[in-house]
């Protein structure tokens, strides 16, 4: 992006321009995909493009990382090959004997990753209900190095207070990292609220088309141990996205604000419809006044996003029967794409899942909200 006097630029403008530079060699507005894994040195040993080897950096990845940093308002973006690899990079920044505080409710594989991979390394973890900041305060230990937040949480969209939790983490000398996948940087600004870093599964809203797997960490500052560890883990561990993945992700960012605004508007309408349906026990959507942390969501988010979940009266069998009847929603896992998805979450999470058995999770896509509503209505009535 050329330096210009329009500062600070608004989100939509950053989404359209950040990380995009016309190619100086041929003027191409859309970046080329650079597949080369290695880059030629000059006779004096210098690397004119600044690239050495594509595990360490590549023009498409650098452009995508530049855009990520701009959208989250951070100092740098660090891109990975999946959301899990991004989470792993943060856990890897901890050492044996360190302690982390995490939410009881979050993407189930984040906990799975910690328990399966890092328990063996003697990393200690406490899982608490982070919707009550007192629980976070009580869980802090002298060796706590990380407080992890996921808000809204997967799958019940619980809301945790980023500013207050970041303050608790910092008072104890710990990092505060927020998984911002569900909110997107359009609706929630964790770095401005005090978090040290934000993670994303860029597979979701950033990619937006269900055709690329990716993840990232965006840090607030680069002159610190967290950033140094993330970068060395990225370059040495090598869980990096391909040039084509980065190209696809950068291609999707200009439409991010339009997509998620539409998805959010439809989610609001569907949440209200479901809340009034006699076969629905509970709707989990932070935009509803009935949501237990609606006031907090109103305060820390500019809007409530495109995800919702609801519990069908009658438990697992009733919920699975409803999911079996949808005609427009696709029965598939994941979220954030242009197509609406529905899934019986406890089945995906397995036998130890704490998710209520009657819960269906919906990722609202870009279809007309009336069509989606009619689909859910006929599925609930059949």
Ligand X SMILES: Cc1ncc(COP(=O)(O)O)c(C=O)c1O
Q: Rule CB under 6 A: which residues touch ligand X?
A: 82-84, 107, 150, 154, 179, 181-182, 201, 203, 213, 215
Nearest to 169 by CA among 207, 202, 189, 197: 197
CB of 269 to ligand X, least distance (A): 23
Q: Which of 179, 196, 245, 303 is catalytic?
A: 179
User: Which residue is catalytic, options 61, 145, 189, 204?
Assistant: 204
Q: List, in sequence order, every residue forming a beta bridge with 283; answer none if it has no partner.
A: 310
Mark whether 156 is an active-site residue: no
**Does the active-site annotation cover 145?**
no
**CA nearest to 217, candidates 127, 297, 264, 148:** 148
Whether 179 is catalytic is yes
For residue 202, the minimal CB distance to ligand X (Å) is 7
Least distance from ligand X to the Cβ atom of residue 230, Å: 16
Residue with smaller CB distance to ligand X, 60 or 201: 201
What are the two backbone dihedrals, phi and then psi, of residue 126, each rounded to the nearest 5 degrees? -115, 130
Task: Enumerate the H helices of 238-351 as residue ranges.
Answer: 243-252, 256-275, 294-300, 315-325, 345-349
DSSP strands (E only) in 174-214: 175-179, 197-201
Q: 204 an active-site residue?
A: yes
Q: Give least dist CB 206 to ligand X, A.
A: 10
Q: Indicate the residue among 318 and 349 with the shorter CB distance to ligand X.
A: 349
Min CB(335)–ligand X separation in Å: 6
Q: Which is nearer to ligand X, 318 or 323 (CB)?
A: 323
Instruction: Name the residue number minimizing CB distance to ligand X.
Output: 83
Q: Do 218 and 184 touch, CB atoms closer than 8 A?
A: no
* Whole-angstrom Cα Rg for the chain: 21
Torsion angles phi and psi, residue 195, rounded to 5: -65, 150
- Exactly one of 107, 118, 127, 205 is catalytic; name it: 107
Contact criterion met (CB below 8 Å) for 320 and 347: yes
Judged by CB, which is closer to ligand X: 34, or 193? 193
Nearer to ligand X, 199 or 380 (CB): 199
Phi, then psi, of 128 in degrees rounded to 5: -135, 160
Catalytically active residues are 55, 107, 179, 204
């Amino acid at each position: 992006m050329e330096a210009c006097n329009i500062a600070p630029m608004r989100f939509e403008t950053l989404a359209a321009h950040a990380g995009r530079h016309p190619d100086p060699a041929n003027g191409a507005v859309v970046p080329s995909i650079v597949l080369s894994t290695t880059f030629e040195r000059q006779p004096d040993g210098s690397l004119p493009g600044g690239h050495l080897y594509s595990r360490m950096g590549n023009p498409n990845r650098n452009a995508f990382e530049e855009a990520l940093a701009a959208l989250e308002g951070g100092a740098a973006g660090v891109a990975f090959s999946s959301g899990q690899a991004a989470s792993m990079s943060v856990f890897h920044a901890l050492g044996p004997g360190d302690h982390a505080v995490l939410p009881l409710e979050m993407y189930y594989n984040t906990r799975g990753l910690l328990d399966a991979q890092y328990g063996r390394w003697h990393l200690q973890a406490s899982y608490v209900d982070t919707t009550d900041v007192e629980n976070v305060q009580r869980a802090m230990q002298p060796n706590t190095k990380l407080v992890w937040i996921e808000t809204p949480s997967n799958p019940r969209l619980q809301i945790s207070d980023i500013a207050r939790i970041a303050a608790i983490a910092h008072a104890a000398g710990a990092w505060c990292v927020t998984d911002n996948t569900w909110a997107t940087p359009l609706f929630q600004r964790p770095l401005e609220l005090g978090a040290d870093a934000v993670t994303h599964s860029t597979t979701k809203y950033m990619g937006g088309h269900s055709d690329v797997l990716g993840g990232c960490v965006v840090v607030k500052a680069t002159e610190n141990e967290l950033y140094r560890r993330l970068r060395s883990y990225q370059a040495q561990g090598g869980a990096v996205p391909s040039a084509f993945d980065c190209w696809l992700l950068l291609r999707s960012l200009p439409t991010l604000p339009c997509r998620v605004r539409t998805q959010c508007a439809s989610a609001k309408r569907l949440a209200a419809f479901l809340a009034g349906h006699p076969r629905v026990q509970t709707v989990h959507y932070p935009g509803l006044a009935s949501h237990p942390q609606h006031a907090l969501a109103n305060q820390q988010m500019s809007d409530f996003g495109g995800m919702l979940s609801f519990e069908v009266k009658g438990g697992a069998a009733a919920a699975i029967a409803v999911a079996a009847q949808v005609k427009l929603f696709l029965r598939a896992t994941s979220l954030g794409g242009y197509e609406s998805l529905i899934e019986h979450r406890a089945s995906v999470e397995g036998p130890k899942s704490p998710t209520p058995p009657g819960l269906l999770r919906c990722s609202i896509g870009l279809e007309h909200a009336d069509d989606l509503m009619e689909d859910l209505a006929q599925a609930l009535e059949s």
